[in-house]
Amino acid sequence: MKNICVVTGSRAEYGLLKPLLLEINMQKDWHLQLVVTGMHLSSEFGLTYTEIEKDGFFISKKVEMLLSSDTEVGIIKSMGIGLIGFADTFKELRPDLIVILGDRFEMLAVVEAALIHKVPVAHLHGGEITEGAYDDSIRHAITKMSHIHFVSTEPYRHRVIQMGENPKYVFNVGSIGLDNIRNLKLFSKKELQKKLKVEFKKYNYLVTYHPATLNEKNNAEEFEQLLLAIDKQKESLFIFTKANADNGGRKINQMIDDFVFNHSENCIAFTSMGSHLYLSVLQFVDAVVGNSSSGILEAPALKVATINIGERQKGRIQAASIVNCEAKKNAIENAFNFIKRPQFKSNLVGMLNPYGDGKTSTRIIHYLKNVTWHKLVKKSFYDIDIKV
């Protein structure tokens, strides 16, 4: 039996990884080791590890690392605590392969510990660009400490190879977030209204806004511009999901609570929706509003528009359904008006999503079965000719 250790630190990340976890569990010669950390273990962020247990997964280890502080110093100290925790965890579990997704600071601690333990790492969603957040640099650092790369588009595959990774171990498998859209039986509008305890209105929006951690401006001030624009939208329902545990996230969450309290007639908020409820809502809204990757990756698959605000997602490949705007009230209001145009809505019908077809997990399993993991620990830099 080979021990496949999958690490997750946030609700969104787990939702993306869930189809892969199910596939790993189905393999007779593999044993899934599931490690949870970060926001999953915080009451402030919904203690979402309980949702993982409700889904029937056994949690092999819980690694506490998140301090109740979202300052720069607090985030750095959380990373240090996490590194200590993963050092002990990997010594105890002795995984044969570690699987991680994305670019959050929790995962940087994971790959640092894996590197010294000499455990190969399979990384999902490398090669992407998000210029507005330090996640961008973390993602590239994780790539250099990983050994198998599962990217979501062909340009991202080229970029990982450009970073010196061997093309034999860089696979374009699409975005794993589309697997849930393909496989889950999403709730009907009637079921959703009952679960959410609201009635959908003429216009409906899903708002997901996180701090742009490299933003020279104040994230709270920019989020205030979004709230001012939302306040001008009539006949509309706004469903907020709260921010991650990045520096500045707690201030945004407090602003959401205050705004929803004063606009209870057309606004509701969730600390954590879970992937099933989130995607079910997503299929019926007019747009995802904010700066979340879900507006870039998943929304186009459901032919739903995205109002992408600011620079947090700057650099990612985008479908035609995405409207970019500055974090200014007037610009956001113009974006709301633009997506309501009949011509824009009609163009969504035939739009292609550049992030795949929802069969990512199957492809990942296929490639993992055809790679000898332990031989990858000692890497050679793969040089390519570049004309500067």
Which amino acid is it at 303? K
pLDDT of residue 388: 75
Could you tell me if 248 and 213 are in contact, meaning their C-beta atoms sit under 8 angstroms apart?
yes
| Buried/exposed code over 288-312 (b: 16+ C-beta within 10 A; e: otherwise) | bbbbbbbbbbbbbbbbbbbbbbbbb
Instruction: Write out the two tokens for 49.
Output: 């590890």
Residue whose structure tokens are 């690392």: 65
Q: Mean pLDDT, the chain, as a whole number?
A: 94
What pTM was computed for the model? 0.92
pLDDT, position 387: 78
Flag the least confident range among 45-54, 160-169, 199-208.
Answer: 45-54
Exposure pattern of 230-251 as b/e (b: 16+ CB <10 Å)? beebeebbbbbbbbbbbbbbbb
The residues of the chain that CATH labels 3.40.50.2000 are: 2-176+358-376, 187-349
Q: What is the DSSP string of 241-263?
A: E---SSTTHHHHHHHHHHHHHHT
pLDDT of residue 46: 86
Task: Please give the biggest Cα pair distance in the chain.
Answer: 60
pLDDT number for residue 370: 94
- Per-residue pLDDT tens over the stretch 47-57: 899 999 999 99
Cα dihedral 22, 26, 28, 33 in deg (nearest 10): 10
Contact 350, 316 (CB under 8 A): no
CATH number belonging to domain 187-349: 3.40.50.2000
Beta bridge partners of 239: 206, 268
User: What's the pLDDT band for 5 if we cut at 50, 70, 90?
Assistant: very high
In the predicted model, what is the mean pLDDT of residues 22-35?
97
pLDDT at 383 over 70: yes
Please calculate the CA angle 90-140-32 and round it to the nearest 5 degrees: 30
What pLDDT, on the 0 to 100 scale, is given for residue 350?
83
The yes-or-no verdict on residue 216 having pLDDT over 70 is: no
Q: What is the pLDDT of residues 301-311, one digit of tens each?
A: 999 999 999 99
Q: What is the percent of the chain where pLDDT is above 90?
A: 85
The neighbouring-strand residues paired with 59 are 34
Coil/strand/helix, residue 370: coil
How far, in Å, CA of 188 to CA of 209, rounded? 25
Rounded mean pLDDT, 360-364? 97
Compute CA distances 297 → 36, 124, 176, 266, 317, whole Å: 24, 14, 9, 27, 9
The region of weakest confidence among 263-272, 300-309, 348-357 is 348-357
Q: Using pLDDT thresholds of 50, 70 and 90, give the confidence band for residue 354.
A: very high
Q: Which two tokens stand for residue 260?
A: 């929803």
pLDDT by residue (tens digit) across 271-285? 988 889 999 999 999
* pLDDT (tens digit per residue) in 32-51: 999 999 999 998 888 899 99
Question: Domain 2-176+358-376 falls in which CATH fold?
Answer: Rossmann fold (3.40.50)
Ramachandran assignment for 218, one of left (phi > 0), alpha (psi -120 to 50 degrees), beta (any other): beta
Check whether 324 has a pLDDT greater than 80: yes
